[in-house]
Amino acid sequence: MKRALICTLAAGLLFGTECTVFADESVAGTYTFEESAMGGQFTVPWTLELREDDTYTLTEDNAFMGQQVYEGTYTCEDGVITTGPFENDPPQAAFFESDKSCKWTLDGDTCTPVNYNEDSSAPENGQGDDGKPDGDLPGGSLPGGGLPDGSLPEGGLPARDGMMKMNGAAAESNADATAAYASNSESQICDIYLPEGDGAHPVIVLVHGGGFMFGDQRMELIQPVIETGVENGYAVVSVDYRKSAEAVFPAALSDVKAAVRFVRANAEEYGFDTDNITIWGESAGAYLALMTALTPDAEELNGDVEENREESSAVKALVDFYGPVEFYTMDDEYAALGTEDTTYSEDSSFESKFLGQAIGEDEETTYQTYWETYKDKLPEDFTLKAWIQVGNADASVPYTQSENFAERLGEVLGAENVNFGILEGAGHEDAAFYTEENLAAIFEFLKTAE
């Protein structure tokens, strides 16, 4: 392909630079691009090969999904290269059009997507233009799983769907204290935020999400919960835990249960009211929260964490934002909602990495991660107040997971003790969950558990 090409780069908007390819030059060649994700903490290299016969090969080198190759034909018009649609499933990158085409500008041996926004390289909330979940989900979104040797890459792991933008880098900590609640791993730490005045303060044990694979107790997304909790007189204990690349199930759950025991064991030092503990989680953290809340006497789930075993991990209330619940049925539930070909059951999914094997491989093993497996171990006098909330445009976890959970939990606790709500049009980790109005409603609900 030989034609005039004058392209103004995305970077040129900042620096005023311009590159010119004269009419007798060809755009055929190999160009590279580095996609920045999570505020620059994670990079995905891309290679675009343009050939003289107007065909292209686009290669995505993703440390977690492996190498993905996309092929088709391209055009050049008004200084912009357009790579046409391809047969593969759409990439996670948000700079592709809905038909899987992509517009690029060229500068030397580099290329830049016209729609590239360095602040967010994942579709916000995992939604299409209609506000509903995208029809073709690449199976639990980004499968993840670390590098080939099982280690984590420098800078951590990418998020799935809407997580990428909202999580970003960890916030600066203004915690009153940071403490280790166990000694198995450097990840077993918590930040403690205390309200004004002397205790005993009701406590929120806050558990971040991140596909069981990334994130920490200072993630930007959960800051409104911390701030609002402290304003309402709660001590907030924001917990980190071991990720799947370090240790598989029940490790992360054992950690969160140990964090609750830490609260009880250190009540006098920090002014905690151990009769009023709420556990609050979002996404993967919501799963860990609900499992902690509903398995206080399941000793096998304490795993290899020995600290404060004399204390109970029981809580009084649960807040669950869009958590996965029943891993084994996630593919089927999305299929029932009209989204086919998801691959949660395969060994590349977040949930499979958490379990340590493909969740579709062995039903009995997978159901060791499900709360109802341990229902018979609940104390006879067990009580709990539960707030369960999800968006019906969630493209990371079928919203029916929360719906079914609320119904079944109501049968155990009594429907009057379970508050279930669907946020219309909200996606996974949507800002709608963290508005002043929604958080205020939750804290009013928590008063009924005091």
Which are the contacts of 356, defined by CB distance < 8 A and separation ≥ 6? 244, 248, 249
Calculate ∠ Cα 161-163-169, nearest 5°.
140
According to the model, what pLDDT value does residue 42 have? 59
According to the model, what pLDDT value does residue 119 have? 52
Which of 222, 37, 163 lies closest to 429 in space, CA to CA?
163
Residue 17, φ and ψ in degrees, nearest 5: -90, 155
According to the model, what pLDDT value does residue 75 have? 95
Q: Give 302-314 pLDDT, tens digit per residue.
A: 999 999 999 999 9
Exposure class string for 418-434: b at 16+ Cβ within 10 A, else e: bbbebbeebbbbbbbbb
Q: Give 212-262 pLDDT, tens digit per residue.
A: 998 899 999 999 999 999 999 999 999 999 999 999 999 999 999 999 999
Residue 358, φ and ψ in degrees, nearest 5: -60, 130
Q: Give 170-222 pLDDT, tens digit per residue.
A: 556 789 999 999 999 999 999 999 999 987 999 999 999 999 998 899 999 99
The span from the CA of 419 to the CA of 190, in Å, is 28
With contact defined as beta carbons under 8 Å apart, do 235 and 197 qualify? no
Q: At what angle do helices 251-265 and 284-294 cross, to 10 degrees?
A: 60
pLDDT at 91 over 90: no
pLDDT at 133 over 90: no
Q: At what angle do helices 436-447 and 223-231 cross, to 10 degrees?
A: 50
pLDDT at 166 over 50: no
> Is this prediction's pTM over 0.85?
no
The span from the CA of 78 to the CA of 449, in Å, is 63
According to the model, what pLDDT value does residue 16 have? 41
Residue 235, φ and ψ in degrees, nearest 5: -85, 130
Q: Which residue, chain included where needed, has tokens 């709990």?
A: 384
Q: Give 322-369 pLDDT, tens digit per residue.
A: 999 999 999 999 999 999 889 999 998 999 999 999 999 999 999 999
Identify the weakest region by mean pLDDT among 120-129, 199-208, 372-381, 435-444: 120-129
According to the model, what pLDDT value does residue 407 have? 98
Q: What is the mean pLDDT of residues 44-48?
A: 92
pLDDT at 55 over 60: yes
Q: Which residue, chain included where needed, has tokens 């309200």?
A: 195
Q: What is the mean pLDDT of residues 127-143?
A: 36
Strand (E) or helix (H) holding 385? strand 385-391
Q: What is the mean pLDDT of residues 49-77?
A: 87
Confidence grade of residue 104 (pLDDT, cut at 50, 70, 90): very high
The span from the CA of 324 to the CA of 303, in Å, is 21
Q: Which percentage of the chain shows pLDDT scores above 70?
A: 80
Output the average pLDDT for the chain.
84
Which of 239, 429, 399, 410 lies closest to 325 in space, CA to CA?
399
Residue 192, φ and ψ in degrees, nearest 5: -115, 125
Separation in Å, CA 150 to CA 62, 126, 143, 244, 246: 15, 27, 14, 10, 8
**Residue 244: which region, alpha, beta or left (left: phi > 0; alpha: psi -120 to 50)?**
alpha
The span from the CA of 283 to the CA of 200, in Å, is 29
